[in-house]
Every structure is written in structure tokens, then in C-alpha cells.
Amino acid sequence: MLRGIQVLDLSRVLAGPWATQMLADLGATVMKVERAGSGDDTRQWGPPYTAQGLASYFTCANRGKHSVSVDFKNPEQLQAVHELALKADVIVENFKVDQLKAFGLDAAALRAKKPELIYCSITGYGQNGPRANEAGYDFALQGLTGLMSITGPAEGPPFKVGVAVIDIVTGIYACNAITACLFHKAQTGEGATIDCALFDTGIALLANQGAAHLVAGAEPKAMGNTHPSIVPYQAYHAKDGYLVLAVGNDRQFASLAKALNEDSWATDPRFATNPQRVENRELLNGLLEPLLMKANRSHWLERFEAVGVPCTPVQSVSEVFTEPQLHERQLLVSHADSPLKPVEDLRPRDTTSLLQTVGQPMVINGLRPSHPLPPPDLGPTITRLKP
């Protein structure tokens, strides 16, 4: 859907590359400009590594891109980047605020030459404010924005989320803003300057927890696997492992009670409605957990599924990648060895030995927009474009 759109990717690590990978998957041509000699920092963030020597971290956010190397201190190479910039429809960068001014690659300088350019800057704290000049790191932002204060066991130390969630969601927001600006440009011919900040995203990710503070002055706290406003809605230990119960309404709770042969719970004034269950959380869990410990997960999963109670096993990452639903949804993308081989080259080969990445979590008109080109090797030194 974005075929013909030229993207110059001056970003590295995760938030920016996540956004530009989405654009590549949607059909844009993405040129990744990397530091000469070493490239994107995440090329070295291993082990593990692919058979071609790419760090697995790099492979998660750089599918479908082309790469060139550049030394900004080399005048000829810098001029070549300027030429690419003025041919691009979209530029994405995640340098510190004003750092690209020294090279004439900032939004103001480039949009003065090409007003229709869409220029997206991704920083830790945004283009203004007392922290604007600070470097931004996902882990640090998870702490600063309060996300760590509501993650982890109750009364325990703060925990970060198991992936760099602020980086990833910032990338999604950036891609969303870019596609909106492309739509606006198609209508008006006008470009845009986009300011995305990890800090802003971290605050937005507080979601209902942030709303609880704004509405009622509440101070949300870490509650482990429990939910502040819904019960039972957490992980429970069965005989052979953990399962998640996500009982979202009173009807589902009545079904749960029936599946447990505890029909009276559905009319018990302590449990009949969700507010009552929240008030009597510990009491209900004290009754529920011993029952679940009497049988294996498979037993409970079968019984709960039969009555429409949302329940899943807590799976390891290895188990997830053998999940039948994942393969039915065709979420994995198999790539050819060379970044320049077309997807047709995959057909006669054993794809089990090829690099795989996780495709875009969307299906449009029956197709999952995930680029067949694998993450690129570090590209050659950039040269001036031919007239």
C-alpha cells in the first residue's frame, strides 16, 4: 500500500527501526543509513547470532531494508546522504535533539529545501522541556514514567517489562503518525514535522492505571499477576503449571463457578458481582486456588473452554513458537540467505534452515504485509548519486 514511498532511515537500535520496518512491510522502500565500520548498535547485541553473523536483536526490527554505510565527517559521503534525503518522501531519525543540525540534516534545514518532506524525530524526551537534551533508554524510561512501579509482585521490587515495550510502542506511534501525514500529503501536498518521544509513550502506556490517578487521585501499585479492577483475572497454579483466568464479567464468573461445581458462588453476595469480588479478592482466591491445584492444566482448559470461560496456559517462548494458532495465522516469515534474492527463491528450498522473523500483526485483504527481504548485511560506503 506504500509502494513508491521512499524512506530514509537514519535511526538505530529499536524504536526508529521498528517504525521503518513497518513502513517497509507496508511496501515502502527503506534505505537504512548506518555508521561506517560498525553499523547499527544492535548488530553487536548478541549472542545469539544468525548463521550469517547477524545478532538476533538486529533481525527483529530491520526486515525489508537496504543498507549503506556513512561517515558524516566525510564531506563527500555527507553530501551523498543529503542527496538521498532530498529524494526521500519520509525521513526517520533518533539522534539527540539538535544533533543533526551540525550536518544540515535536521528537519528545519531539509524541509526548507523540500517542504513536502515528512520528517519524524524519535527522542527520549521530545524536542522541548527540561529533559529534552537527555539521552533516552527504554529501561530508564520504564522507571521514570511509572511503568516499573506497577509491574512485578506486590510489595516486591520494581520490575521492567520483559521486552523494550516503550521503544516498540513508540515505533508503532511513529509509523501511525507517518502514515497519517502521508494521507494528509496526498490530499494537500503538505509535508510534516513529527516529534515522537519515549517519555510521552511511557505515560500513555499507563492507560487505565494513569486514568485511575487522574480520576480519583489513586496511587496504583504493583499487584503481580492480579488486576486492580477485575477478579478473578490473574495467573493461577494448577497441578502441573500455571494458567491464566480472565473472567471479564458476571456471566463468565457464573460459568466458572459451574465448571468448578461451585454454582452457589454465582449468587453469593460476596462474589456475585465484580465489585464484590474485588472487595473479597483474597477470600475468593483462597477458595479458588486449592480447587485448581487438584487437576492438571489440560483438565481445566477443557472444562473452561466448554463453558466459555477465557483461560490459557502460561507458555514459554519455545512453546509459543510451536503453537498451532501461530502457524495457522502464518505469523512467521522465512527469508532467503541473500538480502537481494526475491521471495520466489524460497519455493524450491527447505525453509526450515532459513532465517525466520515474526511478521506484522495485521492482515489486510487476506494478506499479511511482511517484507520477504531479510535484515541486510552492513551495506557499502555511500557514494554520490549519478546525475
Q: Residues 74, 77, 79, 85: is their CA dihedral positive or negative?
A: negative
**Mean pLDDT throughout 127-143?**
97
Which pLDDT tens digit goes with each residue over 213-272?
999 999 999 999 999 999 999 999 999 999 999 999 999 999 999 999 999 999 999 999
Which residue, chain included where needed, has cell 539527540? 96
Query: Active-site residue 167, yes or no?
Result: yes
Going from the N-terminus, what domains does the chain have, and what CATH number goes with each? Answer: 1-224+321-387 (3.40.50.10540), 233-315 (3.30.1540.10)
If pLDDT is split at 50, 70 and 90, which confidence band does 385 have?
low
How many other CB atoms are found less than 10 A from the CB of residue 96?
15
Please choose, from the candidates 74, 81, 78, 12, the residue with its C-alpha nearest in 3D space to the C-alpha of residue 41: 12
H helical segments located in the chain: 15-25, 56-59, 75-87, 107-113, 138-144, 165-188, 198-204, 207-216, 250-259, 274-279, 281-292, 297-306, 317-320, 324-328
Q: What is the pLDDT of residues 161-170, one digit of tens each?
A: 999 999 999 9
The backbone torsions φ and ψ at residue 344, rounded to the nearest 5 degrees and listed phi first, read: -60, -25
Digit-coded pLDDT (tens) for 302-349 = 999 999 999 999 999 999 999 999 999 999 999 875 443 333 333 333
Tell me if residue 333 falls in helix, strand or coil: strand
Q: What is the pTM of this model?
A: 0.90
Which of 4, 361, 33, 3 has its CA nearest to residue 172? 361
Q: Which of 92, 109, 112, 206 is nearest to 151 (CA)?
A: 206
Query: What is the number of residues in the chain?
Result: 387
How confident is the model over 7-51, as pLDDT tens digits?
999 999 999 999 999 999 999 999 999 999 999 999 999 999 987
Catalytic residue among 167, 195, 200, 337: 167
| End-to-end CA gap in the chain | 29
- Res 52: pLDDT: 77
State which amino acid sits at residue 191: G
The predicted structure's pLDDT at residue 336: 72
Cα dihedral 178, 183, 185, 186 sign = positive
